[in-house]
Amino acid sequence: MDTAETDGPKTEERPKWDNKAQYLLTCIGFAVGLGNVWRFPYLCQIYGGGAFLIPYLIALVFEGLPLLYLELAIGQRLRMGSISVWNSISPYFGGVGVASQAVSFLVGLFYNTILAWVLWYFFHSFQEPLPWSQCPVIEDQTGYVPECEASTPVNYFWYRETLNISPNVETSGSLHWWLVVCLGAAWCIVYICFIRGIETIGKAVYVTATFPYLVLTIFLVRALTLPGATEGLRYLFTPKWEILENPQVWLDAATQIFFSLSLAFGGLIAFSSYNPEKNNCERDAVLVGCINSATSLYASIPIFAILGFKATSNYNSCLESNILALTNKFDIADQNMTIENYDSWMDYLTEMAPEQVAQLHLRECSLQTFLDQSASGTGLAFIVFTEAVIEMPGSQIWAVLFFVMLFSLGLSSMFGNLEGVLTPLLDLNLVPKWMPKELFTGLICLLSFSVALIFTLGSGNYWLEIFNSYVGSIPLLIIAFFEIVAVVFIYGIRRFSSDIEFMTGRRPNLYWRVCWMVISPLMLLVVFVAYIAVQVQSHPTYPAWDPEYEKFPLPWVQPYPDWVIAICVLLAGVPVLPIPLVALYQLVKFLISRQKRGSRHAPNNPYTNQAFEIKKIIITEEQHFLNIKI
């Protein structure tokens, strides 16, 4: 593999991408993840379809792209991992890299657990019929499992057969061996693809970054031919302009574009550090950012077409059950009452025999209601979509393709998470020289697997939602804010612009400079304050799956216990603690060093050369503190 020399006091060989395509595919694969398939469509659904694109695109232009460009540029210029980059800019900002590394490690724990769930569904997708298509029979063969009959086969397979979920977060339960096996398999696959760093990643991304687009295209063609697909697309693209008055829409748009691009994880900095210095990182940033957002929109089309098909199927089933009840009650001849003339029949019967119709307790059937039944995250992948697949001809094929696509999306994102953990450790020479990189990578994967066993408990799904909500939110906003401060105000916007001119041949234009200096940090600050304000307004709750709940199968929304809230605060705060701690350590170190030098040589004759040297040393230390280049 090609190598390049690293800038710094030690001349070391640094890995280098074999070609530009490997680098771009890796960045795209890291940015395009599971959130593009299940989070973005969900936000479009609940926030008025096409209207949500307006705040989303504004956030992309003024927050996402500038931050993406900044990370790619600083990584390419300094050619280091996240810790070394920020430490070289100023030792007082070394904690920013440590915080990125901590977040990457914690996010990788639950992200790979989702891949373990995907593997579990993938293994079951070859059965005929699909195991989530019907309820299992009880042991004496006299009926179906009551929990399944009370809910649906899809819900039962997810909550009981897969998660074997406990009734609340306080009931941990035991480790589930099938999830432990799938989790181990997921980490083994990640390790095999990552065993030799970017040399093996560069080969794997040819598949993991491109295969999801092939599957999405296949799903797009198939989904558009399903009955009810047009209803789903009409729901997606019909804007509800009044929804833009809700400030929550703008908050979710800003956070979605931020997390979707995988900013502040350190992985993008590490990937760009393997580039040659003469590379157009501005074009790379625009390309990766636009492809990521286009993928979100592209994925929404087949997803909403399938959701429209599912809503239409549920709507027709609802009408058919009502038709059967009315036919039996009023002795209507078969085929006289159909879905097409149901409304006219209902108007007639309601007018002629209102009391008898009321006694039937008919279901209220509304296509709009079924379309409004939104689901996000795991609910979309493992409940809504699997239920829709049952109704599709050749359901096994579509299930296999869907879960292979999800695994490819998640695997390419895991490369970036693991790179954000390993590269800083290797750059700081924290790995013993006698230990091969392959062994060290294996130890990190083994450690991650061991910690992630918490997600294979009966309460594992609750803990995964906690990690997802608190690790992948506030810490990233804080890290990104300090990244901009470090580059613009410490490293210096002029110096940074000169570096970009050296790498690309031209200085950043006014748009980039204004975003870096004013708009982007201001947006991050506003989003952070708004996020905190939203969180403190109400007690955090979570939906629990409890068959003993009187309104089962509806989820039982319960408040988090105080000790769980304390853990949530720790998960949001501990990853970013290195930022103030490292800065405080460096400040104390500087003050002690200055005091020692002053006491060692005092008093001094101001007219001697010795006093001049002491003064020069003190000035140098102060300039180092401010990181001002002489």
Q: Which residues are annotated as a binding site for Na(+)?
A: 29, 31-32, 36, 260, 292, 409, 413
| 236-238-239 Cα angle (round to 5) | 105
> Which residues are CB-contacts of 22 (< 8 A; sequence separation ≥ 6)?
198, 202, 205, 206
Instruction: Please state whether the peptide bond connecting residue 227 to the residue before it is cis, i.e. omega within 30 degrees of 0.
Output: no
- Token readout for 302 is 């087949």
> Could you please report the per-residue DSSP string of 433-481?
TTS-HHHHHHHHHHHHHHHGGGGGSTTHHHHHHHHHHHTTSHHHHHHHH
H/E segment holding residue 79: none
CA–CA dist 477, 466 (Å, integer): 17
Rg (CA), the chain: 28
DSSP letter (8 states) at residue 48: T
Cα 442 from chain centre? 24
Nearest to 464 by CA among 155, 116, 194, 189: 116
CA–CA dist 17, 276 (Å, integer): 9
CA–CA dist 251, 247 (Å, integer): 6
CA–CA dist 299, 292 (Å, integer): 11
> Could you please report the per-residue DSSP string of 229-277?
HHHHHHHHH---GGGGG-HHHHHHHHHHHHHHTTTTSSHHHHHHTTS-S
Instruction: Please state whether the peptide bond connecting residue 475 to the residue before it is cis, i.e. omega within 30 degrees of 0.
Output: no
b/e map of 424-454 (b: 16 or more CB within 10 Å)? bebbeeebeeeeeeeebbbebbeebbeebbb
CA–CA dist 473, 58 (Å, integer): 20
DSSP letter (8 states) at residue 560: P
**Burial class for 460, CB neighbours closer than 10 Å (0-12, 13-18, 19+):** buried
- Token readout for 349 is 């019967």
The DSSP bridge partners found for residue 556 are 544
From residue 200, give the alpha-carbon distance in Å to each of 265, 353, 429.
21, 73, 22
H/E segment holding residue 557: strand 556-559
Compute the Cα dihedral for 410, 414, 416, 420 and give only its sign. positive
CA–CA dist 584, 579 (Å, integer): 9
Residue type, 547: P
CA–CA dist 146, 323 (Å, integer): 27
Binding residues: 29, 31-32, 36, 260, 292, 409, 413
> Could you please report the per-residue DSSP string of 272-340?
HTTS-SS--HHHHHHHHHHHHHHHHHHHHHHHHHHHHHHHHHHHHHHHHHHHHHHHHHHTPPTTTS-ST
